[in-house]
């Protein structure tokens, strides 16, 4: 199985020993505490599960700036996006060397992690602009990721952490949430060595299903990891539990047994396009995957990125920096001429009218009216689940 990023073995920051964890939970009660952002809580979950290996905690300003400019920490570690604990006001922990981090996503704000404070710094306006432009490619506050990054505060609390729980993810998504450690264990039990990962924040249409099948077949892979984001999305996106039900039904009906793992991870979407695609590759490598499918506008939003920017960013990344390989996908759709789903750039003598193409808006309209999209676009079993969801939102 492929090595983790930056080390020979995973370094998950979750305190697995129950006695040690309980001792830390008791210690946290007497520590100065601070309520962190949802983004920082997601970072803690990813650090806890080994997805952000080999990081040991939150970055300081120097590392964040280095990552933004060069995709490397000051020590030279290849990394595409800053991993930060940013707050508006850090005065409550001034002078503290060890603090409790309170989870904003659970009622009562329980402690999610304990952090050893190495520094409390403040980003300048110019530094915020530099990071924003480098990571998101724009400073437009209409970009949901840009707005989130620029509204959580400028105080930066850096230092290593010990993670005490996985927030709400392992409880609300008990059948789906998996750490990188657990994924490696499950793949090992299945005997998978070559594994192709598919990232999704949406229910999967027929084209997505067939894209996974294409990659699996062409790469002669042992298995497919369908890995869905379970954290916060932008307004209008399908909730995680509905996506989960759709994907599980699709896999149950249309894939061979023991060829697909349906799993999820606890992180808030950045919508950072190319930079986030590289981050996705890192935590799939840490999960044991050998390949990641990167399609058009991977991890994008609106018209902020070119359709293949998330693929071309990998052109300058060498095996020294990243072992996982990219399966590059074009737009995939059903060909009326060939009576099957194809990658559109691979077929000749086709016009736009030869494909079954529906916009997301059109599909949502159909589902909202109780109309199933054509079978060439969506599996009927999946459409039924989505129709019930849309009916519930208008009831």
Catalytic residue numbers, as ranges: 201-202
- How far out from the chain centre does Cα 272 lie? 11
Q: Looking at the chain, list the stretches that DSSP marks H as alpha helix, in order from N- to C-terminal side.
A: 18-28, 38-48, 61-70, 125-136, 144-149, 169-172, 180-190, 206-218, 240-254, 274-287, 309-312, 360-368, 380-394
| φ and ψ of 328, to 5 deg | -90, 125
| φ and ψ of 214, to 5 deg | -60, -50
- Cα separations in angstroms, 296 against 95, 137, 311, 355, 369: 47, 17, 8, 17, 29
- What would the 3-class secondary structure string for 186-201 be? HHHHHCCCCEEEEEEC
Q: Which of 368, 366, 362 is CA-nearest to residue 388? A: 368
Angle between helices 125-136 and 61-70 (to 10 degrees): 40
How do 332-335 and 340-343 pair as beta strands? antiparallel
Q: Residue 373 corresponds to which tokens in the numbers above? A: 């999209």
Burial of 125 (0-12, 13-18, 19+ CB in 10 A): exposed
Q: Which residues contact 154 (CB under 8 A, 6 or more apart)?
A: 86, 88, 122, 123, 124, 128
Strand partners, 223: 195
């Amino acid at each position: 199985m492929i090595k983790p990023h930056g080390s020979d073995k995973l370094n998950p920051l979750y305190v697995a020993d129950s006695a040690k964890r309980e001792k830390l939970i008791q210690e946290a009660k007497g520590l100065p505490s601070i309520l962190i952002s949802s983004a920082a809580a997601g970072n803690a979950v990813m650090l806890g599960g080994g997805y952000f290996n080999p990081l040991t905690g939150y970055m300081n300003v120097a590392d964040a700036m280095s990552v933004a400019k060069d995709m490397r920490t000051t020590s030279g570690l290849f990394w595409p996006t800053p991993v930060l604990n940013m707050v508006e006001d850090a005065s409550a922990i001034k002078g503290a060397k060890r603090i409790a981090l309170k989870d904003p996503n659970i009622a009562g704000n329980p402690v999610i992690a304990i952090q050893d404070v190495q520094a409390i710094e403040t980003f300048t306006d110019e530094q915020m602009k530099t990071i924003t432009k480098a990571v998101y490619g724009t400073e437009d506050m209409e970009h949901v990721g840009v707005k989130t990054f620029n509204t959580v505060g400028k105080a930066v609390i850096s230092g290593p952490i010990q993670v005490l729980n996985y927030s709400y993810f392992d409880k609300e998504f008990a059948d789906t949430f998996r750490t990188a450690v657990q994924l490696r264990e499950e793949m090992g039990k299945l005997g998978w060595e070559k594994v192709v990962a598919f990232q999704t924040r949406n229910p999967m249409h027929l084209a997505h299903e067939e894209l996974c099948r294409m990659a699996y077949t062409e790469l002669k892979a042992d298995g497919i990891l369908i890995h869905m984001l379970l954290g916060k999305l932008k307004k209008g996106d399908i909730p995680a539990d509905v996506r989960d039900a759709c994907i599980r039904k699709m896999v149950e009906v249309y894939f061979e047994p023991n060829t697909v793992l349906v799993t999820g991870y606890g992180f808030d979407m950045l919508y950072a396009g190319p930079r986030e695609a590289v981050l996705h590759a890192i935590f799939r490598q840490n999960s044991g995957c050998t390949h990641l499918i990167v399609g058009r506008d991977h991890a994008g939003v609106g018209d902020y990125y070119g359709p293949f920017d998330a693929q071309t960013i990998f052109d300058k990344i060498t095996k020294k920096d990243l072992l996982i390989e990219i399966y590059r996908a074009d737009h995939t759709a059903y060909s009326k001429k060939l009576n099957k789903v194809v990658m559109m750039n691979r077929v000749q003598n086709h016009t736009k009218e030869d494909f079954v193409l529906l916009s997301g808006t059109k599909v949502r309209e159909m589902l909202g009216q109780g109309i199933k999209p054509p079978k060439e676009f969506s599996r009927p079993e999946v459409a039924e689940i989505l129709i019930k969801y849309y009916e519930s939102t208008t009831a």
